[in-house]
Structure 1
């Protein structure tokens, strides 16, 4: 309970900013008499979302599964690959240029190929989320595994520590802050990738709803779906951040947050 109250105190400025934005938005739309199909007031967006919530929830679950599955696949592949590349110069010279090339290729251009190869099911969405989340995780992982202090490694070797113990006690903990940075970037991109995949070809998901509501000029529901999609992305992002705080509470960023919570 105390941690929840501390978090609410730290977040009060953000809450006030959002509340102020919504009030200004509502007032300006009504005073200027802006047409609903151009910019609906937040109250109308909330009412329409409440009325159609069951349908939006069904499609949100589809998109959420794509986001989580694609992101987890990127994590499972990226971190071991980053470790191999960081510790092997021949592998780095061979694979890293290929990874950079794949990142440069626009993902929206690849999406139609996935539809041709794998059909309109779950697989092409999963692969597109994987591709968009993969690169920041693997690059941050490589940087993390390479950012070891040689003096620390020499000290560990002088104590007789074996390779596995040095990896678990020194290499991995030193790399985790960089890895979590990439994980958070990848989590933020996962929602975007899922919607892009659904834009290309889909009969379900929030991307499909966005296209449907937009073609019918149902602007309030367009805003509502965007809000739900943003919430999904935030949930994945903050889940990664929570795991980061549990995994590396000793890191300077988490110590600063804890200190701020005690002084708030």
Structure 2
């Protein structure tokens, strides 16, 4: 049943997208909307056909910056969360610094990263890391702290080491929360990469959009935006797929299991 339900949802989504594109095309032609204001879908698709290699090359650059920043955010975020959970001092200091840092608009910090790291890929990765890390740290801390106290007491009574408690009790318990933070973080990492390309970038989809803006080429700008939307969607569902594979018992599949339970009842 689950397979057929997902197939029906995919069909509905596809039909909705086709209908939206058709209405968009008709509206542009009927109301004679200028292409620099709102290009027709046919013009956007023509832009894909006109420069597929150019768009693909820049998309790969943005994808690399996004994935590198996201990977660093996961590793560093997990380490910070573990440190904060195990240290009252770090909880009172480092956690506060993270909150303050998260409250600063990252666009305001982007020029500083360019001055510190240059105009290469490094500042894009750093900005992606900064934007993505906060949600990962917060959700990981929540998961690490949500362990049943009785389970921790039993582990300590069994003379389990702190490392054993962390990797055999706290980490498995924290994985659902970590994946929740990672699904938010992957989208933020993409935003961070684009912000870095806006500030100082000659390569990447952000740079493509800026160049299209300078020449009033809305079709190329929309083509880059469509690629970004597809990239963000695919990355989100890849994280969700990893969650389903590693945590088949998690609440992300509660609806499926719930429907099965109702049938048996």
TM-score, length-scaled by structure 2 = 0.90
Paired position in structure 1 for 2:65? 66
Corresponding residue for residue 248 of structure 1? 247
Equivalent position of 2:138 in the other structure: 139
The answer as to 2:24 corresponding to 1:29 is no
Equivalent residue, structure 1, for 2:160: 162
Q: Distance in 2 between matches of 1:209 and 1:128?
A: 19
Partner Cα distance (1:220, 1:161) in 2: 65
| 1:16, distance to aligned residue in structure 2 (A) | 2.5
CA contact (8 A) 2:244 2:252 kept: no
1:46-57 aligned within 5 A: 46-57=45-56
Unaligned runs of 5+ in 1: none
In 2: Cα distance, 1:239 partner to 1:260 partner: 25
Q: CA RMSD in A?
A: 2.2
Describe the SS at the equivalent of 2:38. coil
Q: Is the 8 A contact 1:195 1:206 kept in 2?
A: yes
Asked if structure 2 preserves the Cα contact closer than 8 Å seen for 1:213 and 1:222, the reply is yes
Relative distance call for 1:144 and 1:157 in structure 2 (3 A) is same
What is the CA distance between 1:49 and its match in structure 2? 1.3
Runs of at least 5 residues in structure 2 that lack an aligned partner in the other structure:
none
| Cα drift, residue 90 of structure 1 | 1.4
- Where does residue 107 of structure 2 map in the other structure? 108
Shift of 1:11: 2.6
Deviation, 1:14, is: 2.3
Q: Hey, what does 2:178 align to over in structure 1?
A: 179
The reply on whether 1:93 has 2:92 as its aligned counterpart is yes
> Partner of 1:10 in structure 2?
9
Displacement of 1:15: 2.2
